[in-house]
């Protein structure tokens, strides 16, 4: 069994039963940040240093999306040779009132529409003999329900 590590330490919970992005919540003003903030709340009228890790909602609505039809340059590491196009989604979380990017799992751009409900999943970003690097992706809720 390979060792599983997150794509960026501290950015996501890679428990397959509980995939979550981990952001920061300001204990003083309630502002939420992703990626995490460790020094100072970026609400300019707050500036508190009382920042706590917080798991973000795992569902949201599709704000927009695009397709990467050409292989991105380094430091991107393609998973397949030849390169397989993939979709990237911008998903709006209702409670956090923010939009977060992620690659799309399960469907290409033809399966997406602004306003769709999306959920967070985990997938392999990189792999070598010892470790599997895990990243987050967005997947239409309808894909799972139809499966």
Partner 1 sequence: MVDQVAILGVGMHPWGKWGKNFVEYGVKAAEDALKDAGVAWTDIQYVAGGDTIRNGYPGYVAGATFVQALGWNGAQISSSYGACASGTQAIESARMRILAGLCDVALVVGSDTTPKGFLAPNKGTRGDDPDWLRFRVLGATNTTYFGLYARRRMDVYGATSEDFAQVKVKNSRHGLSNLNARYRKEVSADEVLSSAMVANPLRLLDICATSDGAAALVLCSMEFARRFTTNPVTIAGIASVTPVYPSTTIEMPNFSTDSAAAVPAPIRGFRDSIAYTAYEQAGIAPDEVNVAEVYDLSTALELDWYENIGLCQPGDAQKLLRDGDTTIGGRVPVNPSGGLACFGEAVPAQAIAQVCELTWQLRGQAGARQVQGAKVGITANQGLFGHGSSVIVKR
List residues near partner 1 by CB under 8 A: 7-8, 26, 29-35, 42-45, 63-70, 72-77, 86-88, 90, 95-103, 109, 113-115, 125, 135
Shortest Å distance, C-beta 21 to partner 1: 9
Shortest Å distance, C-beta 73 to partner 1: 4
Identify which of 82, 86, 83 has the alpha carbon closest to the alpha carbon of residue 71. Answer: 83
Collapsed DSSP state (helix, strand, coil) of residue 102: strand
- Count, residues in the chain: 147
Cis peptide before 49 (omega within 30 of 0): no
Between 1 and 115, CB nearer to partner 1: 115
Between 103 and 142, CB nearer to partner 1: 103
Q: Phi, psi at residue 84, to the nearest 5°?
A: -105, 125
């Amino acid at each position: 069994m390979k060792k599983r590590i997150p794509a960026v330490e501290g950015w996501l919970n890679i428990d397959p039963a509980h995939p979550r992005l981990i952001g920061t919540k300001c204990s003083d003003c309630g502002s939420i940040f992703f990626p995490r903030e460790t020094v100072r709340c970026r609400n300019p009228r707050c500036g508190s240093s009382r920042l706590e890790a917080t798991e973000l909602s795992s569902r949201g609505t599709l704000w927009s999306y695009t397709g990467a039809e050409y292989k991105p340059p380094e430091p991107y590491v393609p998973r397949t040779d030849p390169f397989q196009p993939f979709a990237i989604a911008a998903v709006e979380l209702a409670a956090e009132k923010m939009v977060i990017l992620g690659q799309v799992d399960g469907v290409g751009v033809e399966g997406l529409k602004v306003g769709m409900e999306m959920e967070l999943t985990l997938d392999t970003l990189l792999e070598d003999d010892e470790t599997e690097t895990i990243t987050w992706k967005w997947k239409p809720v309808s894909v799972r329900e139809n499966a």
